[in-house]
Amino acid sequence: MSSMPVFRHLRWLYNRLKVRRLRLCAPFTVLAIYTILGAYIFRHFELAADEGRRARYRASTEQAFSQVLARLMEVNCDAKLQAEDHQLQARHTKDALFWLIDYLNLTAVIEERTQESPWTWMGAM
């Protein structure tokens, strides 16, 4: 019942603007305006917060990876490997870390949380 005055006002506005000839265009125009306005509102409130969250997660992930890499490099590996090539040891350590991340199925989570924000105009609509 409370929605009836709203419809009366909309009907009055509809008749006042003399859009009777455009009966098919008016609903689509209202829908387009509603969609664009809604997208603007969602994007305005969500974009900055989402980008901040993603940047913090990206920095946190990179910091954690570099700390674990540094700590694993301190572990005494094969003496021959350590004596021959420090870069080779670093590559083996990184490969082991990437294997662990893939094995725990964290790759998709990390990629999703570090990608660009989905709050584009089309994403918001």
Pairwise CA distance, residues 72 & 75, whole Å: 5
Query: Taking the model in full, what pTM does it have?
Result: 0.51
pLDDT value, residue 118: 73
pLDDT value, residue 125: 63
H or E element: which one contains 96?
helix 86-103
The angle formed by the CA atoms of residues 75, 105 and 93, to the nearest 5 degrees, is: 20
Structure tokens at 37: 């306005």
Pairwise CA distance, residues 122 & 103, whole Å: 34
pLDDT in tens, 37-89: 888 888 888 888 888 888 888 888 888 888 888 777 776 666 665 556 777 77
Decide if pLDDT at 1 tops 70. no
Which of the pair, 28 or 1, is modelled with greater confidence?
28
Pairwise CA distance, residues 32 & 41, whole Å: 14
